[in-house]
């Protein structure tokens, strides 16, 4: 199978359950985003070298509202990956496989609550000038 | 059709087991990290706060384990996705995975000891 066909297969949502193929597809996409961010994050941490002079400027940039908004978007991606990932680990031990659709939505609800909570804290502490 | 099924089908059993173990570690490490760095405003991310945390051997151990876990989990996941596409050069992909993982982990740990 060629790469093109493989990718097309990957993105084909037909005949898939939300808690099956579609959740897996998003799990992979969010995983790739987080991995990419890991390297961006390592780059940012490098600003801490040499006494951290460049880190202070860096901090001034990333605490501005557009960057905080990007952070919040990233949290959404992380919370999806985490909430769905916890379900997959449970499934691996045979837990929740019979009611996986319900399990999926329960985890999504928990993930959403966690994300809203963190978003509230970040928005009030950073954008709110706290 | 293997595509878009669990990467369990793609990975070696030991690699999949470590993917699960590091997943559970990540819930803890990333959970602590997100709350610590974002729920307290600026106070925890000022350079003085970072330096003083890194003086503490427990925090240092936390971050070393974090770097190892997240690098393995992320890169092994990427390796699984690539192999799942049906790429035949499995040995080359695996070698590349280990090289990138070791460099990433080494750089992360080096940073922890040099800032």
pLDDT in tens, B58-68: 999 999 999 99
Contact between A86 and B27 under an 8 Å Cβ cutoff? The reply is yes
**Mean pLDDT of all residues in A57-78:** 90
Residue of A nearest to B66 (CA): A38
The C-alpha atoms of residue B83 and residue B3 are separated, in whole angstroms, by 10
Confidence of residue A128 (pLDDT cuts 50, 70, 90): low
pLDDT above 80 for A26: yes
* Of the candidates B99, B59, B79, B89, the residue with the CA atom closest to the CA atom of residue B19: B79
Domain B7-114 has CATH 1.10.10.10: no
Predicted pLDDT at A130: 46
Q: How do residues B3-46 score in pLDDT, each as one tens digit?
A: 446 788 788 899 999 999 999 999 999 999 999 998 888 888 88
> A44 or B57: which carries more pLDDT confidence?
B57
Domain A3-127 has CATH 1.20.1300.10: yes
Residues of A at the B interface, defined by Cβ within 8 angstroms: 1, 3, 6-7, 9-10, 12, 16, 21, 24-25, 28, 31-32, 34-35, 38-39, 42, 45-46, 48-49, 52, 55-56, 59, 63, 71, 75, 78, 82, 85-86, 88-89, 92, 118, 121-122, 125-126, 130
Q: Do B111 and A45 touch (CB under 8 A)?
A: yes
Predicted pLDDT at B21: 96
Rounded to the nearest 10 degrees, what angle do helices B57-84 and B13-38 cross at? 130
Domain boundaries, chain A: 3-127
**Mean pLDDT of all residues in A24-28:** 90
The C-alpha atoms of residue B16 and residue B4 are separated, in whole angstroms, by 16
Q: Do B40 and A32 touch (CB under 8 A)?
A: no
CB nearest to A121's CB, from B1, B38, B108: B38
| Torsional class of A124: left (φ above 0), alpha (ψ -120 to 50), beta (otherwise) | alpha
Set of chain B residues whose Cβ sits within 8 Å of the Cβ of A34: 74
ipTM: 0.92
CB nearest to B47's CB, from A46, A48, A118: A48
The C-alpha atoms of residue A29 and residue A52 are separated, in whole angstroms, by 34
pLDDT above 80 for A13: no
**Mean pLDDT of all residues in A37-60:** 88
**The pair of three-digit structure tokens given for residue B72, joined into one six-digit string:** 């393995």
């Amino acid at each position: 199978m060629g790469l093109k066909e493989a990718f097309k297969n990957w993105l084909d949502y037909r005949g898939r359950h939300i808690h099956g193929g579609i959740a897996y597809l998003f799990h992979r996409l969010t995983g790739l985003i987080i991995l990419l961010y890991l390297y961006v994050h390592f780059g940012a941490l490098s600003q801490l070298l040499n006494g951290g002079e460049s880190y202070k400027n860096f901090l001034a940039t990333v605490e501005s509202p557009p960057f905080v908004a990007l952070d919040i978007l990233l949290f959404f991606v992380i919370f999806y990956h985490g909430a769905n990932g916890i379900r997959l680990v449970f499934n691996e031990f045979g837990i929740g496989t019979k009611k996986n659709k319900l399990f999926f939505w329960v985890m999504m609800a928990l993930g959403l609550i966690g994300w809203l909570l963190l978003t509230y804290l970040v928005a009030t502490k950073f954008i709110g000038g706290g | 059709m293997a595509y878009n099924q669990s990467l369990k089908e793609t990975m070696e059993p030991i690699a999949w087991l470590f993917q699960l173990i590091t997943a559970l570690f990540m819930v803890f490490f990333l959970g602590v990290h997100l709350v610590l760095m974002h729920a307290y405003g600026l106070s925890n991310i000022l350079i003085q706060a970072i330096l003083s945390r890194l003086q503490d051997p427990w925090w240092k151990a936390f971050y070393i384990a974090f770097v190892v876990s997240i690098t393995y989990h992320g890169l092994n996941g990427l390796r699984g996705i690539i192999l799942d596409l049906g790429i035949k050069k499995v040995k080359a992909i695996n070698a590349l995975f280990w090289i990138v993982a070791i460099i990433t982990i080494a750089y992360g740990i080096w940073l922890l000891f040099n800032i």
